Chain A
Amino acid sequence: MFPASRYTCKAHRCIRALVTLQKDPSAPQLYSSIHRRTCSSASTTRITTHYTIHPRDKDARWEGMEMERFADEADVVIVGGGPAGLSAAIRLKQLANEQEKELRVCLVEKAPQLGAHTLSGACLEPRALIELFPDWKERGAPLHTPVTEDVFSIFTEKHRIPVPILPGLPMQNHGNYIVRLGNLVRWLGEQAEELGVEIYPGYAAAEVLFHEDGSVKGIATNDVGIAKDGSPKDTFERGMELHAKVTVFGEGCHGHLAKQLYKQFNLRENCEPQTYAIGLKELWMIDEKKWKPGRTEHSVGWPLDRHTYGGSFLYHLNEGEPLVALGFVVGLDYSNPYLSPFREFQRWKHHPFIAATLEGGQRIAYGARALNEGGFQCIPKLTFPGGLLIGCSPGFMNVPKIKGTHTAMKSGILAAEAIFPKVTAENLDSETAGLHIPEYSNNLENSSVWKELHAVRNIRPSFHNYFGLYGGMVYTGIFYWILRGKEPWTLKHRGLDANQLKPAKDCKPIEYPKPDGKISFDLLSSVALSGTNHEGDQPPHLTLKDDRIPVEKNLAIYDGPEQRFCPAGVYEYVPVETGDGMRLQINAQNCVHCKTCDIKDPSQNINWVVPEGGGGPAYNGM
């Protein structure tokens, strides 16, 4: 009757169904299936197509595909080429060379080059580096800026209250260096390669492999060539398996494989759930007249209220050009779903004290990453048969100092020293195929890392009182500065960050000022500066356990906080194409691998998995 081509797909189905009905009135089944389809509120296209949510062995499109993986053996495999992983690799090879033993150490890193996914303030305490390389200076380690000045302020909207940094307070930086951690990581990588470590950047560890006895056998790298809808492309190739006697996991804060290992080996049964913060950072080339090399500035207070943990940093680097690194940290246990850490950062820059430094300058880089805030109370069991955890992955950050690099490196060194004798032993009696190295935990508990974290364990939880920030500062003054953390009690954190959000109806939206394009900027131009990119035609790596929850729960109850806490604009609630309602759009290509969404999603529905290796930000000396 009617030219069928003029109608939409849905109408096509209806017309066809009606035509069938006209011919065969006894076809109730067909009618009810049409009824169901036209009445569904969810769109028929899936958001999540990743094989971790939709297994391929039940997927018809994968029938007959060759799924065998090439496997190789090493003595130790290290996941993650950050300060911890590289320190472990270096120490292992130093020991092997000293004792003239053969040792194959392989390190895989998802970034396309070492340092590209590294982001930190950073004010480095050099002691772990000195331990690794006493001659670091002759070797040319990029520590060019000793700290010369330490400034701490409490900000109000227009003014600042200076706080004296007395010696002994955790924020004191004498003897430390302002570094561009990405450059230090790159340098560590060069040292590691010289020592004989095999480093493979651009290959992400996507899966943990297990022996039959349940111990860790190694890892498998990511598959490549899977299309956005989850089907195999012509370029499909399986990842590779790297087997090892011991696998060291140094994925950084909130690693995705570590998340699996916690469940698999029940590593968190005797510690509190980890709490986090998000750190956003920019690099600015400023007016030379304002440049004060070696100066570190920290602030608390405005624009955050006293119940939202957070603060800022601004470091003047001394590497030949007037470069400053500045950033803002917001504790992810905040309760107002209308809070946007990115916009807090942008408006903080307008504070007179900060704007004065930035005026006339140019922003040259942007990035963001989650960091640990849990400290001592949140350290999980660190070892399991076949592997162990190092660095910010289990989390050794000294929160009041906001320093985690030296403890991460130390944990890598201790891990290497515990692994080496066992992995080179002639006749080792091991219960499991993958070696268990509990000596690592023992060594760590007897080390400076443990003492340090124990001393500051109560500072962060002390913020959870009526006076918020000010109560915390008073507590720090009394119990840390005077008593050195020797109080016999250990305060608790509040629980999972994801559970701290209040429903949107109980909270007030925050009025953020519009970015002025000179000091503050919009989100998308910031994301462009991170250089992030991913192969477009791949399943989104921000997987949802249930595609319906974002609209049904996150948007309905919390007004979609993911559109505000993601520092890269990955999550957007957009109107559906036909009809009423919203749907979640995931712009996976923007992701900067900060892990905040996996941490803060109130429904804990988002599971961040690793995308094709080589994708992600392209930080340069961040």
Chain B
Amino acid sequence: MSGRVLVGVKRVIDYAVKIRVKPDNTGVVTDGVKHSMNPFCEIAVEEAVKLKEKKLVKEVVAVSCGPQQSQETIRTALAMGADRGIHVEVSGNDYETLGPLQVSKIMAALAKKEDAQIIILGKQAIDDDCNQTGQMTAALLDWPQGTFASEVTLDGDKIKVVREIDGGLETIKINTPAVLTADLRLNTPRYATLPNIMKAKKKKIANVKPADLGVNLTSKLEVLRVEDPPQRQAGMKVETVEDLVGKLKELGKV
């Protein structure tokens, strides 16, 4: 067993920033906008580092797919405790169309190349809310998956995962190697403090191109148009049930 954990981290627009649609409606404005690590990816990194601190795994490798700036996100993961990073360079049009299918192909290829035992990802990214990469990666590798994890316990060569599902909590036991996706209550991520950022500068980040991994990035999806959601209309207050029914009839709803 390699004892190696791959953690995927995504650089997204910071959650507190107000999103603006580009005037040509092809996407959202990202130039100069504050970005940070996807909150669920932070939780994934924290979980991987915790496993290493408990000596249950030997090495944590942080992976990010994107342009030059993704290196900052990997740097933050390194400051949180990851041992080394892999930056998969994707920029320009390829980056605009990069989606869960492409990223999962990359993660699967890296998992084989790095002989990873566990892959931990965030359950979803806050910019596209896809919630697909973890599941697709597991399918491509034919590995078991423990998604929406709120508790992870390593037990020999198996993993016990408590999952947050609609009905409550579900506990499953899966074999390794496996893919896990982190949900909100899995842990509270630690801060990347300045001494650790300074140390992280000495940790290695390898540069890899998707072609080197044999991954084709072409997407079968084409974004036609991006628009603001419709403005919320003002509501109406009514005094009695009769008024309500009357108003509904007026609007042709009843």
A→B interface (CB under 8 Å): 70, 72, 108, 112-113, 115-116, 182-183, 186, 200, 203, 221, 224-225, 234-235, 237, 239-240, 285, 321, 364, 528-529, 531-533, 618, 620-621
Contacts and interface: CB of A to CB of B under 8 A. Distances in A.
Interface in B87-126: none
Contacts of A239: 193-194
A28 B5 CA distance: 65
A618 B17 contact: yes
* Residue among A112, A186, A225, A618 with the highest chain B CB neighbour number at 10 A: A618
B191 A235 contact: yes
Interface residues of B, number: 21
A200 B23 contact: no
Nearest to B197: A200
A72 B18 contact: no
Given A113-B34, A240-B194, A240-B195, 10 more contacts: A72-B198, A112-B36, A115-B32, A235-B190, A237-B191, A285-B23, A531-B17, A533-B14, A618-B14, A618-B17
Q: Sorted from nearest, which 10 A-B pairs have the closest CB atoms?
A: A533-B16, A618-B34, A531-B17, A224-B191, A70-B195, A240-B194, A620-B32, A203-B194, A618-B17, A240-B195
Contacts of B194: 108, 200, 203, 221, 239-240
Nearest to A534: B16
B33 interface: yes
Given A112-B36, A235-B191, A364 B20 contact: yes
Nearest to B15: A533
B193 A528 contact: no
A225 B191 contact: yes
Contacts of A115: 32
B25 to A, nearest CB: 14
B32 A186 contact: yes
B207 interface: no
Interface in B196-248: 197-198
9 contacts: A72-B195, A203-B194, A221-B194, A224-B191, A240-B194, A285-B23, A528-B18, A618-B17, A620-B33
A613 to B, nearest CB: 8
Given A72-B195, A200-B194, A239-B194, A531 B18 contact: yes
A203 to B, nearest CB: 5
Contacts of A237: 190-191, 193
Given A72-B195, A240-B195, A531 B34 contact: yes
Nearest to B33: A620
Interface string B28-62: 00011110100000000000000000000000000
A620 B193 contact: no
Contacts of B198: 72
Contacts of A112: 14, 34, 36
Contacts of B197: 200, 203
A531 B188 contact: no
B75 to A, nearest CB: 11
A618 B33 contact: yes
A240 B198 CA distance: 11
A529 B20 CA distance: 10
Nearest to A240: B194
A185 to B, nearest CB: 11
Contacts of B191: 224-225, 235, 237
A235 B188 contact: yes
B36 to A, nearest CB: 7
Contacts of A113: 34
Nearest to A364: B20
Interface of chain B, main secondary structure: loop
Contact of A240 (B188, B190, B193): B193
Contacts of B15: 533
Contacts of B17: 531, 618
B125 to A, nearest CB: 19
B23 A321 contact: yes
B248 to A, nearest CB: 28
A618 B20 CA distance: 14
Interface string B53-77: 0000000000000000000000000
B191 to A, nearest CB: 4
A618 B16 contact: yes
B195 A531 contact: no
B202 to A, nearest CB: 13
A532 B34 contact: no
Nearest to B20: A364
A503 B88 CA distance: 63
A485 to B, nearest CB: 39
* Residue among A72, A203, A529, A531 with the highest chain B CB neighbour number at 10 A: A531
A306 to B, nearest CB: 37
A182 B16 contact: no
B32 A529 contact: no
A320 to B, nearest CB: 11
A55 B137 CA distance: 51
A240 B196 CA distance: 10
A618 B16 CA distance: 8
B254 to A, nearest CB: 32
Nearest to B195: A70
A355 B137 CA distance: 54
A237 B189 CA distance: 13
B72 to A, nearest CB: 9
Contacts of B20: 364
Contacts of B36: 112
Contacts of A225: 191
Nearest to B14: A618
A620 B34 contact: yes
Interface string B126-161: 000000000000000000000000000000000000
Nearest to A589: B16
A249 to B, nearest CB: 18
A116 B17 CA distance: 11
B39 to A, nearest CB: 12
B197 to A, nearest CB: 7
Nearest to A224: B191
A381 to B, nearest CB: 30
A115 B33 CA distance: 10
A182 B188 contact: no
Interface string B1-30: 000000000000011111010010000000
Contacts of B34: 112-113, 116, 531, 618, 620
Contacts of A533: 14-16
Nearest to B190: A235
Contacts of A240: 193-195
Contacts of B16: 531-533, 618
Contacts of A529: 18
A148 B79 CA distance: 48
Contacts of B190: 235, 237
A240 B197 CA distance: 11
A180 to B, nearest CB: 9
Contacts of A321: 23
Nearest to A238: B193
A183 B197 CA distance: 24
Contacts of B31: 620
Contacts of A200: 194, 197
B10 to A, nearest CB: 17
B38 to A, nearest CB: 15
Given A72-B198, A364-B20, A531-B17, A621 B193 contact: no
* Residue among B15, B16, B33, B197 with the highest chain A CB neighbour number at 10 A: B16
B187 to A, nearest CB: 10
A113 B34 CA distance: 7
A224 B190 CA distance: 10
A288 B31 CA distance: 21
B86 to A, nearest CB: 23
Nearest to B76: A202
B47 to A, nearest CB: 14
A70 B193 CA distance: 10
A225 B188 CA distance: 11
